[in-house]
Amino acid sequence: MFADSGQQLGALQTSSVMLSDVDGDDDLDLIVGNFGVVGSEWLNDGNGNFTDTGRSIGNGNSSYNVSSVALGDLDGDYDLDIVLGELGANQVWWNSLRTPPRNHIFIDSGQLLGNTYTTAVALGDVDGDGDLDMVEGNGLGEAGKVWLYNGTGGFTDSGQALGISASSMVLGDVDGDGDLDIVEGNTNNLPDQVWLNNGAGVFTDSGQLLGAVSTSSVALADVDGDGDLDMLAGSYSQGVHVWRNNGSGIFTDSGQALGALSGAIVTGDIDGDGDVDFVVADAASTVWLNNGTGTFSSGQVLASTTTVTFALGDIDNDGDLDLFVGREENSTQVWVNNGSGTFADSGQILGTNFLGDAISSNSLVLGDVDADGDLDLVQDNSNTEPNRVWINDGRGRFGSGQALGTSSSIIAIGDIDDDGDPDLVDANNGANQVWLNDY
């Protein structure tokens, strides 16, 4: 069972959060991206109690709203750096992990990546050189971009323009040739697209036009157990469509249209039977269970209010996948799995402002940010609330940590500078930011 730790971290509109051990003390700390103001960093004392370091992450300009944060070792120094995806130019922040003494500081890398309305970011080694690159999807009719990391702390725009009006962009090897391809979900009744990688980070449109229903989100997973990545595509009007991959990156609609209006999708083996299930954000939060061949049947309905985002992971270390539910105009709920795919509300509510009002989240990300062996939560909040890091005590009880920036839309986390600690990418309405972890 979960109990409210009583911690309230900041009082701003958070759009993205990320958990990781940024100070190298073997517990999960929090990076928070916000709308309109700078992000923040909260350090865990090892017992799930978070302290604001006072360090500002991002520039705080209202025109540089963080939509996403990603952490990764970008510069090869074995710590996690930060990329901030923004509704404008993105930013990179380097992490410098040093001991003793232990001190945790994110520094602005000075990089402002683009100047568009970023709606999605993903980190992955797209050019096969061993470091993390970034792809961004943009809204308002703007093309997506591919940013290649040079291995020493800098991203370079590859000059590629991928589609327009993306709502979601995910990386995965869809054609089985060993490199990362891109699946792009589009809005404005535009079809989804598949971009194939030549192995060097150069993408070619596969020519496939998948649906035309204003996609809200896409996810890649092997739903039919044939060893390749299939696609789940949620739409604002027609529910979730299941697209089967033939192994060469060619997708065929299975004919399933699951539910009605749908938003975020999260995948995983929820009922422990060895196949991929999913949960979708719809009028509530609906669990869909796989029969093992990629045919789904509806299961539990979890929430009575509109869901915006999810995160799925084993937070209590009992071997099954638990669920975070981020709700519209409500705080995040924590649901614990009984091992058979049935969730129980833990009673834990994550996120209230200084007035005690509920804080709604744009995205939720799980990761072991404090390196203590369990999954922590990064919460990307809305309405000018600060983003939050929530630290797991190892038993599924969360304490609030660092407030990071203001109101991002997406946060991605990864060791961007290859220094061993987690950095962040913060996506905003303006320049996206990269924040490096300096400890």
Segments of 160-306 assigned E as strands: 166-172, 181-186, 193-197, 203-205, 215-221, 230-235, 240-245, 251-258, 265-268, 277-281, 285-290, 296-301
Contact 149, 167 (CB under 8 A): no
Indicate whether 276 belongs to any domain. Answer: yes
**Calpha distance 164→138 (Å, rounded):** 7
Indicate whether 7 belongs to any domain. Answer: no
Mean pLDDT of 282-295: 91
Query: What does the block give as tokens for 143?
Result: 């093309």
pLDDT band per the 50, 70, 90 thresholds, residue 100: very low
pLDDT at 248 over 70: yes
Indicate whether 285 belongs to any domain. Answer: yes
**Calpha distance 280→273 (Å, rounded):** 19
pLDDT at 108 over 70: no
Parallel/antiparallel/unpaired status of strands 66-78 and 410-419: parallel
Mean pLDDT of 181-203: 95
Indicate whether 398 belongs to any domain. Answer: yes
Q: What is the pLDDT of residues 164-175, one digit of tens each?
A: 889 899 999 999
Indicate whether 9 belongs to any domain. Answer: no
* Mean predicted lDDT score pLDDT of the chain: 82
Longest dimension (CA), the chain: 59
Q: What is the pLDDT of residues 4-49, one digit of tens each?
A: 777 777 766 777 777 877 776 777 888 887 776 677 888 888 888 8
Model pLDDT, residue 263:
83
Indicate whether 4 belongs to any domain. Answer: no
Compute the C-alpha angle 154/155/156, nearest 5°: 120
pLDDT at 387 over 80: no
pLDDT at 243 over 90: yes
pLDDT at 233 over 90: yes
pLDDT at 60 over 70: no
- Cα torsion angle, 414, 417, 422, 425, sign: negative
Report the C-alpha dihedral over residues 73, 76, 79, 83, rounded to 10 degrees.
-30
Reading phi first (left if > 0) and then psi (alpha if -120 to 50, else beta), residue 405 is in: left
Model pLDDT, residue 322:
96
The three-state secondary structure class of 42 is strand
**Calpha distance 57→238 (Å, rounded):** 39
pLDDT at 327 over 80: no
**Calpha distance 316→293 (Å, rounded):** 29
pLDDT at 98 over 70: no
Indicate whether 2 belongs to any domain. Answer: no
pLDDT band per the 50, 70, 90 thresholds, residue 50: confident
**Calpha distance 378→100 (Å, rounded):** 27
Query: What does the block give as tokens for 379?
Result: 């919460």
Count of structural domains within the chain: 1
Model pLDDT, residue 192:
95
Distances (CA, A) of 174 to 4, 185, 227, 249, 274: 42, 15, 10, 5, 21
**Calpha distance 232→313 (Å, rounded):** 19
Mean pLDDT of 274-302: 92
CB half-sphere exposure, 358, CA atoms < 13 A: 12
Distances (CA, A) of 295 to 224, 243, 267, 301, 337: 8, 11, 14, 18, 22
356 contacts: CB under 8 Å, gap ≥ 6: none
Listed range (115-124, 265-274, 352-361) with the worst mean pLDDT: 352-361
Q: What is the pLDDT of residues 133-155, one digit of tens each?
A: 999 998 888 899 999 998 776 89
pTM: 0.73
Model pLDDT, residue 131:
92
Model pLDDT, residue 185:
93
Model pLDDT, residue 105:
34
Listed range (184-188, 197-201, 287-291) with the worst mean pLDDT: 184-188
**Calpha distance 137→120 (Å, rounded):** 5
159 contacts: CB under 8 Å, gap ≥ 6: none
**Calpha distance 18→424 (Å, rounded):** 8
**SS3 helix, strand, coil % of the chain, rounded to 5?**
0, 55, 45
Mean pLDDT of 302-328: 86
Report the CATH number at residue 19: 2.130.10.10
- More confident: 116 or 174: 174
pLDDT band per the 50, 70, 90 thresholds, residue 76: low
pLDDT band per the 50, 70, 90 thresholds, residue 106: low
Helices (H), 29-179: none
pLDDT at 338 over 70: yes
- More confident: 161 or 358: 161
Report the C-alpha dihedral over residues 287, 48, 78, 54, rounded to 10 degrees.
110
Model pLDDT, residue 407:
60
- More confident: 83 or 131: 131
54 contacts: CB under 8 Å, gap ≥ 6: none
- More confident: 64 or 303: 303
Model pLDDT, residue 7:
78
Report the C-alpha dihedral over residues 171, 430, 119, 432, rounded to 10 degrees.
30
**Calpha distance 259→277 (Å, rounded):** 15
Beta bridge partners of 168: 185
**Calpha distance 147→158 (Å, rounded):** 6
Range of the domain at 321: 14-438
Indicate whether 169 belongs to any domain. Answer: yes
pLDDT band per the 50, 70, 90 thresholds, residue 312: very high
pLDDT band per the 50, 70, 90 thresholds, residue 341: very high
pLDDT at 103 over 50: no
